[in-house]
């Protein structure tokens, strides 16, 4: 057993407080939030059952993903019409240029803070047709 693998293997939880397994070696019946979501499930308020850990060579700190019991997971709540509307308004706000107040058709880059035609007015006309 390698030293890195030994740091990440603690099935009793004595060292890390929760049962810890090396990356990709978790027992069956446990899943991460993303894995649950892919199955149409959510943790549903249950506590963390275990964790998978991988040592990070560059930073020196281990990377951790928490695991939840699949059999205790609940189905994902369906989106209501109000949630869809709120999401649509939020996306519209991200696409609206604060300078020209137009819907750019894409999310405004935070590095520019405005749509591309407003950021680079000399590059071409407003409609995207080269002058």
From its phi and psi, is residue 45 left (phi > 0), alpha (psi between -120 and 50) or beta? left
**How does pLDDT run across 75-129, given as a tens digit for each residue?**
999 999 999 999 999 999 999 999 999 999 999 999 999 999 999 988 765 555 5
Q: DSSP assignment of 21-83, as one string? A: EETT-PPTTEE-HHHHHHTTEE-TTPPP-EEEEE--TTTSSPEEEEEEESTT-EEPPPPPHHH
The Cα 122–Cα 125 span in angstroms is 8
Q: Is the pTM of the predicted complex or chain greater than 0.75? A: no
pLDDT at 29 over 60: yes
What CA–CA distance (Å, rounded) separates 20 from 107? 40
Tens of pLDDT, residue by residue over 52-72, are: 998 877 777 788 999 999 999
Identify the DSSP state of 18. S
State the pLDDT at residue 131: 43
Residues 108, 115 contacting (CB under 8 angstroms):
yes
């Amino acid at each position: 057993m390698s030293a890195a693998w030994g740091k990440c293997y603690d099935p009793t939880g004595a060292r890390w407080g929760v049962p810890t397994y090396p990356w990709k070696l978790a027992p069956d019946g446990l899943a991460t939030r993303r894995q649950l979501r892919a199955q149409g499930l959510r943790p549903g308020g249950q506590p963390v059952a275990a964790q998978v850990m991988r040592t990070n060579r560059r930073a020196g700190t281990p990377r951790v993903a928490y695991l939840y019991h699949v059999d205790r997971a609940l189905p994902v709540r369906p989106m209501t019409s109000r949630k869809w509307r709120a999401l649509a308004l939020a996306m519209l706000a991200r696409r609206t240029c604060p300078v020209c107040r137009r819907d750019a058709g894409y999310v405004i880059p935070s590095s520019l803070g405005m749509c591309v035609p407003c950021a680079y007015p000399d590059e071409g006309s407003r409609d995207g047709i080269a002058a």
